[in-house]
Each structure stands twice: as structure tokens, then as C-alpha cells.
A and B are shown apart, each in its own frame.
Chain A
Amino acid sequence: MNIKILGAFAAVALLAACADQTTETKGAGQTHSIVPGSQEDLVANVGDRVFYDLNRSTLRADGKATLDKQAAWLKQYGSNNVQIAGNCDERGTTEYNLALGQRRANAAASYLKAKGVAAARMTTISYGKDRPTAMGSNEQAWAQNRNATTSVR
């Protein structure tokens, strides 16, 4: 759901800014262009984030599926380096969540490495509970905020 929202934002931004795109993708029911290998491409066509269960840093099956696609995408765009940011919901303490977020980022990075992405292409960072993507204080928001998010650097 969150990915769709981000995709829609990216679509609006791109429609406003770009006219000479080479590929077309579907997003929020509109037809628009996205630069292959860009962050927008990663968000819209691959999935930039994987989600974790409460207080856990072990990858779920849906997360592994997303990371498999990320690994393939990173092989296709071999000059892309990425940062993987680990995030937590707000129902923990700052310092513990900094460590938990790092574990989540590390789990995603380790999986990508095992799938053939060179470690030198990846950096990790943890924001603990300080960079929520969903602002609500409910389980739906917390589930969104327990993630590791990959971004092109």
C-alpha cells in the first residue's frame, strides 16, 4: 500500500518534470514514463522496501521475494550503489530501536550479498524510530514503519 502511494507521488513528480522518457510503467492507473535504473524505477517496478514483524529482524517470505527482485535489478544496473536504511515503529525506545533498525538493514544487505550483490555497492544505516513513512499511531502504520528501505545513492 505504501509502495503504491510512493509510486503515485513519483508519478506526479515525473509527469511535471520529465518529457523525454523511454519506458512506460503503470502507476495509480496513469500512463507515464520512468527512467530505467532510477530510484523511481526501483520503487515502482521492483519494490524499495521489505517489512519486518514486531521486534524482529528476520526476513519474511515476502521480503525475500522483494530482495530477489532487487538483486536482479542491481545486476541489471551494475553502476547503481545503494543505501539500505533500517527503520522501526514508534513503540520502542530510541536507543534500542537504533540497534534494531541496524539489524534490519544488515539482514537485507546480507541477503542481497548472498544473491550476488557486491558488498562494496551497499551501505547500511539505521534511523531507529526517527524516520517513519506512515505517520499514524496504529498497527497499520507501525507495520509500514518496520522496514528496510533501499535507495539509489
Chain B
Amino acid sequence: MKRILVGPDSEKEIDFEPGEYPLATLETGTALVLRGGQVHRVTYANGLLLVNGKQVRLSLADPRNRRRNGNNNADSGRRDVKAAMPGKVIKILVEPGQSVEPAAGLLILEAMKMQNEVRSPGTGRVTSVHVKVGDTVASGQALVTLE
């Protein structure tokens, strides 16, 4: 069976036999895989896995589905800075049109009484700020777009 193993930064094509390694599901979300007599414990949910305690983000994609929706938003040089954690916007430090250096503060998020500065991942220009002070943001939500 051909699949693409998709990681956060890379992908690789794999070919394997379904059922090649015996797998025993314990409770929902945890499975044991026996391979060469060794027990590997995998706990998983929503694309995240703990493999013998190590956390990774991996998923399988079907190469046939892949080709259909290839060519998805070709790199326009724009990138969103996303919230790594849920929180509340306390302060916005940039405005559209402003140029930023790597690690420049973009805005300040607060969660659980801790404040955290969201910083620019690189050099760029702010094209838009998607949030305002007082907004509650979810993890992964776009905060600022840079180009």
C-alpha cells in the first residue's frame, strides 16, 4: 500500500503491507505494536502521537488524493504568524505597513496570568493584523500576516 507519511516539515513516500506488524488496541487512543519481540506503545489523538513517550505529529496521506489538490496556494511570500497557545490579546505592538526584524515583538498574549510576546519569525512587512486588544484567540489562529 502506497502512502505519504506527512510530518510537520517533511514528507516521505512509503510502501507497506497493511497488517504487517501486529497491533493491539488497549483503550481508545492507545495501541501496542509488537515488532521483533519489542513492545512499542503508541497513544494518539488528532494527528498527534506519543510513541514510547516521544511526541510527534505525523499523518498518512493517500498519494491519489494528493495529486488532485496539488498546486495549493503557491508560495506568495506571505505568511501568517499564528497563536502557539490560546490566550487573550493584551497589547498590539505593530501596525500594517510596518517592517519588522526577526524576533521583533508583534503582540502580547496572556493566558493563565502569564504574558507572552509573540515575535516575528523573520524579516518582513506587516500586511495585516487580524486581532484587536481584548480578543480571545485559539491555538493556531492567525494573528498577523507578514510578507
Decide whether A and B are members of one complex. no
